[in-house]
Structure 1
Amino acid sequence: MSVILREPIGVIGVVTPWNYPLLMAPWKIAPILAAGDTLVIKPSEQTPLTTLEFAELVADLLPAGVLNVVNGYGFVVGARLAEHPDVSMIALTGSVAAGRAVARAAADTLKRVHLELGGKAPVVIFPDADLAAAASSLRVAGFWNSGQECGAACRVLVHESVAEQFVEQLVGEVQALVVGEPASGEDVEVGPMVSKAHFDRVTGYLERAKKEGIGVATGGGAIDGPGYFVAPTVLVDVPEGAEVAREEIFGPVVTVETFTDEEEAVRRATDVPLGLSASVWTEKARRSHDIAASPDFGTVWVNSHLVLAREVPWGGFKGSGYGRDLLIHALDDFSRTKHVMHNHGR
């Protein structure tokens, strides 16, 4: 008689990012505790306070030692969690570089690794698409959280026959965005970059794009005045293979490229090292099924973008990592199966 048991893994080390500190912590904490594990979580050194407050709020609900928060830099505390022999698994949401470092550090102890890394989400727009709806969607999906979002709609591939019309509509939406300090009013839609270092990184991409001759339809640089504000930007006439079209900028920047046919659209959409999410815009049902099934991305939206639901898994392919967050898929990742076989012959 065979019995399959699902068991906790043990102690899970967790490293969470700065862009959604309070959201990303429960994404890991909930399935880890539900699977029967304990955890040590290190929030980003840039945004640790909400995780600490969360731990205080639930301190009287959990046994001592089940949920532990440690603070520090990734290259010190995060590295120690990844390499520690008593940590059975390491889970990270962060950059591709951080994911590589964690995987290398975990290799010596052969611990399990769960990585949710960056993205460079293509938005493929066909001639029959509802252009106004696509432009309106990108107003949010491309600039939510000031573009500091791994699933952001940051790379548009639009059919050449409707490119000019779409860009005009997109620019109108982007120029209507309200930029400001988040606490200055409920109408503010785009805030500053998280830090001076990240501000310099984002503006560096824009400066290099201009030197390469890439066009700027709107925005294109920092906003004058105090704070690390970058103007919501749309870059146009972006050539295939350009740096801004392949690398994750992680700021309020959307690039626009054009394509001539379906085959080219799919090839160029997938010709990036990251594979977290993508969207396809078309009114043709057969095309929407075929195209959505073919790109190498963990989530593909059809006629929408950045619509998240807790009932479905979230995670990527290729350079965007491996492992899944949310629902039963996360429970699978944070537990292990054991086969017990009984010989009941007499």
Structure 2
Amino acid sequence: MDAAMRVLIAEDDPDSRALLQRILEKERYRVTAADNGRAAWEAFQAAPCPLVITDWLMPQMGGLELCRKIRAAKTSGYVYIILVTAREAKEDLVQAMDAGANDYVTKPYDRGELLARVRSGTRIVELEQQLSEKNRLLSQEQEKSQRLLLSIFPSAVAERLKQDASPIADCVEEATVLFADIHNFAGLAADRSPLQVVGLLKEVFSRFDRLAERFGLEKIKTIGDTYMAASGVPQPRPDHAEAAADLALAMQREMMGFDAGTRVPLRLRIGIDSGPVIAGVIGTARLAYDLWGETVVAAEQVKTYGLPGFIQVTEAAWQRLRDKYILEERGEFFVQGKGAVTTYLLTGRRAAVP
């Protein structure tokens, strides 16, 4: 038995109240006593007790009403209620249980019987508290698992993984893929410690993560100093190319104002392509959400062919962006799976026409 268990007594007879308080305090319960139902209810509201022993008939508020109020109250823990009364009829017992009492003791009560019922209630309260604590810990672990799942997968994919164990493989007809890397990162990292290199990438990619969330793109993965994001997956959107273009421009602006502590400012090479992709989850021990297809290959290659500090897009992306963005033709490059591809440099948005 928990020596610190608190008990609320509601009894209008002063002798019965004093006797009950002495019995319980001798058993090391912490007792709060009230001489009527309303005073007991006010005491319970101020400091809810896990055990309540209440008389049936009391001035201002009876035991049945006190039971109903306690059961209706939104308390943080379980409350065990014992109703004490001289009534012995079966219908009285039914009425007491219907009001919310857990147990019923008739007067004059035997001290041993009363304590046995109190101990029984104590065990139930303690079991409920243990169960509540286990549920709280389980809920915390579930929240951690959910946060971890959402840090690895897009929310829509995470929900599918939780509900269905079948493989996830989707053919997305319209999406835009973006690759970005830091120009000459190997040279910049040469005179830094491993901890400094990781810290620099963490800071840069954290900024990109915030921008990707702002513009509604999904971060797919990072490989070394390369950052990959996609628009239109797993949730389709008609403006997928525009969202990717806006993210690319914002990433370039972010790097202009970023002090990396290097001899020269960090400059990005960004490549963008639009078209169909295959999206799915691969792996067994370490699952990963990834994209495949010619659009992915083209976006990565035009990034590689790109100029430091510029955004290079394919003709497929240019077709979707040319009305709202400023693009300059750069020339043709060979792209695996597509052959010669005309590329363009994305330099900004066109001014809105009034």
Q: TM-score range by the shorter chain?
A: under 0.3
Taking structure 1 as the reference length, the TM-score comes to 0.23
Larger Rg: 2
Higher share in strand: 2
Higher share in helix: 2
